[in-house]
């Protein structure tokens, strides 16, 4: 079939979605269940319905838009991603998978009508999923929606998660209009026949190799933890150095240790980051009294990542002990890596050949809802290049040509899988 992607329309929709933001352009911030997020959802649901898709949502805010096939009793093929956005991020992370997924479906609709199919729908239904709360900003867990869909996170545990203001998820999702038991979210294994997610690479490799498409074969194992050090505080002028127990010194040592532990793992695939370091009471003439770190560690290899985590936790405690400041260590999450299904990877590669696009196999260093959907059904991901590999910053950029290529490959892949 000849597929004509309407990239002008999709680009305009990406731009419009980026305007739903709580920080000034070009940065984006759209935290789950905020007014801005709810307004963006309304915009998207409008687009889904306009495309003739049957829209429903579940009790935690995952949104499903179904293009019903000739045999709706068969497990559908699914695609999708997220639209929430961390502070001061860009406009392509996740959104390309949702609006690109929508355009992939619209492209197939047009192509099948033009090719004379009657009805002009595939055999299996194709379902577009907008996962809720993929970013960890509000409730600490990344991929909250897909964790619940897959059963990786039990509903009781999810209900009690609180945000920085002490509000729990259960109340927040209900106030946002998503009511009913959280236990209803979980899908049965095999609910879908396959899940394929289109996403920007968030790394520099496709651009450096000048390739159009990455066929993702595995997703790195993510982990995060919180470390808190507490000291007596005191007057910056009045307390002699010998009398001090300053938690910022332990935290500083730990920040350097996280970096070293990742670099010294034996593989360049390990990454470690301190993204949050909060100092209380935060006054120039006051010795820090309370310091909180949030640490992110990832690797393609689960056991290697866990060795790095152990090193970090052990050193965290050692630095606190050496300084005489009580240390609290709390794991937030540590998930195993995921492997793509070979048949879907093959379908992606075939789609690239059919679309005359260059491609390579690669791994995903960032984790995505696909990681947890791998517990429900076979999965794979389609990557497109992004400029300088930049992401989680306003300069994040993928060209319309790159996005168009990704949408065409997604459309062809979904079509193959939906037969």
Residue list, annotated binding site for Zn(2+): 82, 93, 135, 199, 392
Closest CA to 370 of 385, 360, 381, 362: 381
The distance of closest approach from Cβ of residue 93 to its own copies in the complex, given in angstroms and rounded to an integer, is 8
State which residue, 116 or 238, has the beta carbon closest to its own copies. 238
Which residues are part of a known binding site?
82, 93, 135, 199, 392
The distance of closest approach from Cβ of residue 163 to its own copies in the complex, given in angstroms and rounded to an integer, is 14
The distance of closest approach from Cβ of residue 268 to its own copies in the complex, given in angstroms and rounded to an integer, is 6
The distance of closest approach from Cβ of residue 327 to its own copies in the complex, given in angstroms and rounded to an integer, is 17
Tokens standing for residue 122: 């595939």
Tokens standing for residue 57: 């949502």
The distance of closest approach from Cβ of residue 270 to its own copies in the complex, given in angstroms and rounded to an integer, is 7
First to last CA, the chain: 14
State which residue, 179 or 242, has the beta carbon closest to its own copies. 242
The distance of closest approach from Cβ of residue 66 to its own copies in the complex, given in angstroms and rounded to an integer, is 31
Task: Classify the phi-psi angles of 180: left when phi > 0, otherwise alpha if psi is within -120 to 50, otherwise beta.
Answer: left
Phi, psi of 417 (to 5 degrees): -70, -20
State which residue, 253 or 304, has the beta carbon closest to its own copies. 253
Q: Are 178 and 188 in contact (CB under 8 A)?
A: no
State which residue, 181 or 268, has the beta carbon closest to its own copies. 268
Tokens standing for residue 137: 């900003």
The distance of closest approach from Cβ of residue 369 to its own copies in the complex, given in angstroms and rounded to an integer, is 14
Residue holding tokens 């299996």? 124
Q: C-alpha distances in angstroms, 201 versus 8, 215, 386?
A: 21, 10, 6
State which residue, 169 or 185, has the beta carbon closest to its own copies. 169
Cis peptide bond prior to 119, omega within 30° of 0:
yes
Closest CA to 81 of 138, 26, 14, 140: 14
- Helices 95-114 and 7-18 pack at an angle, to 10 degrees, of 150
Helix (H, G, I), strand (E, B) or coil at 216: strand
- Sheet arrangement for strand 327-334: 271-280, 290-299, 221-230, 327-334
CB-CB neighbours of 416 under 10 Å:
20
State which residue, 107 or 391, has the beta carbon closest to its own copies. 391
Tokens standing for residue 94: 């996740």
State which residue, 53 or 366, has the beta carbon closest to its own copies. 366
The distance of closest approach from Cβ of residue 346 to its own copies in the complex, given in angstroms and rounded to an integer, is 26
- Non-local CB neighbours of 145 within 8 Å, separated by 6+ positions: 60, 61, 62, 82, 131, 132, 133, 134, 185, 369
Q: Are 386 and 397 in contact (CB under 8 A)?
A: yes
Helix (H, G, I), strand (E, B) or coil at 133: coil
The distance of closest approach from Cβ of residue 277 to its own copies in the complex, given in angstroms and rounded to an integer, is 5
State which residue, 181 or 237, has the beta carbon closest to its own copies. 237
d(CA 269, CA 298): 8
State which residue, 181 or 238, has the beta carbon closest to its own copies. 238
Alpha carbon 351 to its chain centroid, in Å, reads 24
């Amino acid at each position: 079939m000849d597929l004509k992607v309407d990239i002008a329309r999709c680009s305009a929709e990406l731009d419009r979605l980026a305007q739903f933001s709580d920080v000034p352009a070009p940065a984006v911030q759209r935290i789950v269940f905020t007014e801005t997020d709810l307004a963006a959802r309304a915009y998207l649901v409008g687009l889904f319905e306009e495309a003739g898709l049957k829209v429903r949502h579940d009790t935690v805010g995952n949104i499903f838009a179904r293009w019903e096939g000739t045999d709706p009793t068969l497990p559908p093929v699914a695609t999708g991603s997220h639209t929430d956005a961390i502070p001061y991020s860009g406009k392509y992370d996740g959104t390309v998978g949702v609006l690109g997924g929508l355009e992939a479906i619209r492209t197939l609709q047009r192509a099948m009508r033009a090719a004379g199919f009657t009805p002009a729908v595939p055999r299996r239904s194709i379902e577009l999923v907008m996962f809720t709360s993929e970013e960890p900003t509000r409730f600490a867990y990344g991929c909250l929606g897909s964790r619940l869909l897959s059963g990786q996170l039990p509903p009781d545990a999810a209900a009690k998660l609180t945000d920085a203001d002490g509000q729990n998820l259960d109340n927040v999702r209900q106030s946002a209009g998503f009511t009913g038991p959280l236990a209803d979210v979980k899908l049965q294994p095999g609910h879908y026949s396959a899940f394929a997610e289109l996403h920007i690479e968030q790394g520099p490799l496709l651009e450096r190799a000048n390739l159009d498409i990455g066929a993702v074969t595995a997703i790195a194992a993510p982990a995060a933890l919180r470390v808190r050090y507490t000291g007596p505080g005191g007057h910056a002028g009045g307390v002699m150095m010998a009398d001090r127990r300053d938690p910022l010194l332990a935290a500083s040592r730990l920040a350097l240790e996280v970096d070293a532990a990742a670099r010294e793992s034996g593989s360049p695939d390990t990454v470690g980051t301190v993204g949050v370091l909060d100092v209380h009471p935060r006054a120039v003439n006051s010795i820090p009294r309370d310091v909180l770190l949030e640490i992110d560690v990832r690797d393609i290899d689960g056991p290697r990542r866990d060795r790095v985590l152990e090193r970090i936790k052990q050193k965290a405690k050692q630095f606190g002990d050496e300084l005489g400041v009580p240390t609290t260590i709390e794991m937030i999450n540590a998930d195993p890596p995921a492997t793509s299904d070979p048949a879907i990877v093959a379908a992606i590669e075939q789609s690239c050949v059919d679309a005359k696009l260059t491609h390579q196999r690669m791994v995903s260093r960032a984790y995505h809802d696909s990681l947890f959907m791998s517990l429900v059904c076979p999965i794979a991901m389609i990557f497109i290049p992004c400029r300088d590999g930049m992401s989680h910053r306003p300069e994040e950029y993928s060209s319309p040509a790159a996005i168009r290529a990704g949408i065409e490959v997604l459309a062809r892949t979904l079509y193959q899988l939906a037969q």
